[in-house]
Amino acid sequence: MNAEAMRPHSLPFNPNVLRWAREWRGRSVEEAAQKINVAEDKVLAWEEGVAVPTVRQARMLAGFYERSFLEFFLSRIPNVAETRLAPDFRLHKKAPDPRGDREVQMIQDWAEGTRQSAIELFAVVGDDVPTIPVEFRATLETNPEWAASEARRLCGYTIEDQIALGSAERGRVAKDIRHAIERLGVLVLKDSRLSKYGVRGLTLFAQPLPVIIFGTEAPTAQAFTLAHELGHISLQQSAISGPPAAREARTDAERSERWCDEFAGAFLIPAPALGKIWAKPNQPNPKIGDDALGQLANTFSVSRHAMLIRLVQLNYVAPEYYWDVKRPEFLRQEAEFKGGGKAPYYGTRYRNSYGDMYTALVLEAWGTGRITNHNAAELMGIKNLAHLFDIRDNFSV
């Protein structure tokens, strides 16, 4: 047998699909080459049809592009329905970044898929999908102080519970608020990629089971983001949110962000509770010392940034001190935040991503034999079953 007969035949990958998959995912040739440890010229050659990748290389590319390996064999580029990206409420977005928009769209796709899975799981376990109470609905004409008070009442999270947190417990405020929002009938997810693109939170409004996605911030900063996104739920808006709103609200987006910031401040720091600690001055103070600001923030288990925003909203402190002095400092500190400590067990990362509402649904369906181990792991994005058992064994912790 000659050498030509022994040589394996090249697989019929479609070079046009290889290029389309990379561009669809927003990956560069350089990134693809680095991912599979080949020269950039080789990736280009595959996309031009003058060479072909090995099966292993093609599978790695499929994973990197988040497409099916089998798509590479199609005779034509697949017709993929694009989801509509949520309205962008980021008020200080830099130059348009199609790669960033693609990443945010992938997060939105994941969130929408998770929502659909959650609705199906409710049916599997025989429970009704929770719905947002009618009383929770608001408009931009609704007083955000009243709306926030109603939200507190409806989700059963009292300001006394929040203030009662000791110094060692303040890091759990975001977790408590996440649970409270879930009790309202909202699916709350976490994706650390959001912060890379200047996104603090993402709300996908739908009935039933709207979705909030938040990113990686300090827990006290996460609390403000969660409350802000809850404001968008109250307004029945889908939204991509960035840093706190602009000083002057001129556009609809700015008015919406301003309302949600005021809602978040009122939710986290109700005016009556603040008034019991610090009597409101006759006129705003020109500034507040860092120590005093820190003490107030600690009392409510919120960030100093959120605390100062609230003091300005309620005319305790002059707005110029926030906008001209402290805001740039806060934004710089938040941009430098790198994440929290070590998780108590590896499965925590999956539970944190999907939240306790969704995780409990998966565990109930699995524990009652309605879905298999494989189904449960797939629904949680888990490849190693040991992590699924970790979550089950530690869920009540």
* pLDDT given for residue 7 in this prediction: 42
* pLDDT given for residue 266 in this prediction: 97
Write out the two tokens for 285. 């103070």
* pLDDT given for residue 132 in this prediction: 92
What whole-number distance in Å separates Cα of residue 228 and Cα of residue 239? 11
What 3-state DSSP class applies to 189? Answer: strand
Nearest to 159, CA basis, from 142, 137, 177, 147: 177
DSSP one-letter string for 209-232: S-EEEE-S--HHHHHHHHHHHHHH
Q: What residues in the chain have per-residue pLDDT under 70? A: 1-10, 81-83, 91-100, 245-246, 339-345, 397
pLDDT in tens, 66-90: 888 888 988 889 887 666 778 888 7
Q: What radius of gyration, in Å, describes the C-alpha atoms of the chain? A: 24
* pLDDT given for residue 81 in this prediction: 66
Residue 203 β-bridge partners: 212, 239
What whole-number distance in Å separates Cα of residue 382 and Cα of residue 196? 24
pTM: 0.83
* pLDDT given for residue 337 in this prediction: 80
Write out the two tokens for 82. 């694009």
What whole-number distance in Å separates Cα of residue 397 and Cα of residue 309? 34
Alpha helices, DSSP H, located in the chain: 3-6, 15-25, 29-36, 40-48, 55-65, 98-125, 144-155, 159-163, 173-183, 219-234, 252-268, 271-277, 290-300, 304-313, 319-320, 327-335, 348-367, 373-379, 385-394
Phi, psi for residue 43 in degrees, rounded to 5: -65, -45
Write out the two tokens for 244. 């706190």
Q: Is 135 exposed, middle or buried (CB count within 10 Å of its CB: 0-12, 13-18, 19+)?
A: exposed
What 3-state DSSP class applies to 203? Answer: strand
Question: Tokens 């389309």 identify what position?
Answer: 20
Question: Tokens 């009597």 identify what position?
Answer: 279
Inter-residue long-range contacts of 379-386, CB under 8 Å, 24+ positions, other chains counted: 379/117, 379/121, 380/350, 380/354, 381/350, 381/353, 381/354, 382/347, 382/350
